[in-house]
Amino acid sequence: MKILSIETSCDETSVAIIEASGGLEKPDFNVLSHLVLSQVKIHEKYGGVFPNLAKREHSKNLGPLVKKALEEAGLWVDANNKIPAEQVEKIKTDLSREPELFTNLLNIFETSAVPEIDLIAVTNGPGLEPALWVGINAAKTLGEIWNVPVMPINHMEGHISSVLTSAKSAIQFPALALLISGGHTELVLISDWLTYKVIGETRDDAVGEVFDKVARMLGLPYPGGPQISALAEEARAEANTKAEVVENVSYGASAVPTFEFPRPMIKSPDYDFSFSGLKTSVLYAIRDLMVIRPALDLATKKAIALEFENAIIETLLAKTQRAIEEFVPKTLIIAGGVISNKAIRQAFEKLTKNSSSYGQEITFLVPTQALSTDNALMIAIAAYIRQQKSPTSISADRNFSAEGNLRLS
């Protein structure tokens, strides 16, 4: 079946078209097109994502992006497809708050034949509601014009599904998923397809959020995750070189201070996380340094980035390891934007390499680097799984809303 998917939950406008087959045992995805338009440059100067600015950009860009995706997939057929006046009126009413999206979609789809699409999937939460609504309204409009069902998809289910393109065989359950993104830090037990139990989550900041906040403290641009990770990588490489070259030479007093940040809740008996204390420790360390220095030099920033990243890695590892020991999953899934981080990926690879010590082999699944951060392909994949799991769940009903705090259920 062919699925067109739309993702607008934050600052990426993304559209994908896939041809999916193979069912739940051997799901196979032929990507016909996949486009991601990042708004990072626009939000960068504000140091974070502005919901209404994100909404405006999605409204402007989504229509042309859908057209481009259809063209790339070979599904665009020029035609004079006059949309009946009463249908135009209905769409206009639905999109009254998004006139730009309305004009875009109308102009585009009056010039194309109805494409061969079986299902439209769209993220309906969690995320920024004004941004989510753009995708939802566009999906509903296209569903109306093309007479195709529209399926709402949970963004976090999308992140979980992003690993399916990397899976070499059928997913074995139970699976344990660690979801680490800009808005979430969750440990989820998956007993079967789409059957979730959240066993732990962050009590304050999400991992990605704390990466972004610490980056801001260090004067690095948004989004800070990749910036911190690059600095930490350099610090690691330099430390290794030093250790190799200088075996017996004493360094004397180093000009770069050393740091020791806490590993929050690492020993607590639950599976919850908390990162605000770690964030505050970094803040205090920087504040103390600023008393004696006019500005942080690069070497100090690298040392902070490294110790901060190590604290995050150790905390994530400890909680996940304990969950593995208790629940003995057959598959470990790690997904969400933060898994782009090389050091975090490597730490979990190492953990699962020795998985026989847990009593059984654990298959470790992570998305490719490109599918780690927000994208529409993962939404299309999740929609296929949902359609396969309960084909009857697809209805003509398009009566769903954006849910900023939508949870996995």
Where do contacts with ligand KG4 occur on this chain (CB under 6 A)?
A: 10, 181-183, 208-209, 211-212, 223-226, 229, 336-338, 340-341, 373-374
Measured from the CB of residue 206, what is the shortest distance to ligand KG4 in angstroms?
Answer: 7
In degrees and rounded to multiples of 5, residue 294 shows phi and psi of -70, -35
Q: How far is the CB of 372 from Zn ion (least distance, A)?
A: 9
CB 271 within 8 A of CB 323: yes
Chosen from ligand KG4, Zn ion, none, partner binding at 211 (C-beta under 5 to 8 Å by type): ligand KG4
Residue 350 three-state SS: helix
Distance in angstroms (rounded) separating the CA atoms of residues 89 and 79: 21
- The stretch near Zn ion (CB under 5 A) out of 13-21, 143-151, 260-268, 374-382 is 374-382
Q: Decide whether 44 or 71 has the Cβ nearer to ligand KG4.
A: 44
Provide the minimum distance between the beta carbon of 211 and ligand KG4 in the complex, in angstroms, as a whole number.
4
117 versus 335: smaller Cβ distance to Zn ion: 335
β-bridge partners, 13: 37
Q: In angstroms, what is the minimal distance from the CB of 297 to ligand KG4?
A: 22
* Shortest separation between residue 62's beta carbon and ligand KG4, angstroms: 18
List binders of Zn ion among 70-89 (CB under 5 A): none
Where are the alpha helices (H) located in 246-329, listed in sequence order? 276-292, 298-327
Nearer CB in complex with Zn ion: 2/43: 43
Interface residue with Zn ion among 374, 378, 379, 406 (CB under 5 A) is: 374
Residue 340 binds what, of Zn ion, ligand KG4, none (CB under 5 to 8 Å, by partner type)? ligand KG4
Is 186 a binding residue for Zn ion by CB under 5 A? The answer is no
Separation between Cα atoms, residue 234 and residue 236, nearest integer Å: 5
Integer Cα distance of 185 and 322 in angstroms = 16
181 binds Zn ion (CB under 5 A): yes
Q: Report the residue count for the chain.
A: 409
Q: How many CA atoms lie within 13 A of 29 on its CB side?
A: 26
Comparison of 137 and 372: residue with beta carbon closer to Zn ion: 372
- In order, the DSSP letters of 262-283 are --TTTT-SSS-B--HHHHHHHH
Name the binder of 261 from ligand KG4, Zn ion, none, CB < 5-8 A by kind.
none
Structure tokens at 361: 């082999």
| CA-based radius of gyration for the chain | 23
Closest alpha carbon to 202 in 219, 217, 220, 187: 187
What is d(CA 255, CA 262) in angstroms, rounded to the nearest whole number? 23
Pick 181 or 341: Cβ nearer Zn ion = 181
Task: State the minimum distance, in angstroms, from the CB of residue 338 to ligand KG4.
Answer: 4
Q: Which among Zn ion, ligand KG4, none contacts residue 225 (Cβ within 5 to 8 A by kind)? A: ligand KG4
The distance of closest approach from Cβ of residue 177 to ligand KG4 in the complex, given in angstroms and rounded to an integer, is 13
How far is Cα 345 from Cα 348, in angstroms, rounded to an integer?
A: 5
Q: CA of 324: how far to CAs of 10, 340, 357, 382, in Å?
A: 31, 22, 11, 24
13 binds Zn ion (CB under 5 A): no
- Phi, psi for 407 (deg, rounded to 5): -110, 160
Q: CA-to-CA distance for 68 and 66, rounded, in angstroms? A: 5
Q: Choose among Zn ion, ligand KG4, none what residue 223 binds, the Cβ cut-off being 5 to 8 Å by kind.
A: ligand KG4
The site partner of 63 among ligand KG4, Zn ion, none (C-beta below 5 to 8 Å per kind) is none
Q: Position 332: which residue type?
A: L
Smallest gap from residue 377 Cβ to ligand KG4 (A)? 13
Would you say 119 or 335 has its CB closer to Zn ion?
Answer: 335
> How many C-beta atoms surround the C-beta of residue 368 within 10 A?
11
Instruction: Residue 126: name its binding partner from ligand KG4, Zn ion, none (Cβ under 5 to 8 Å by kind).
Output: none
**By the criterion CB under 5 A, which residues form the site for Zn ion?**
181, 374
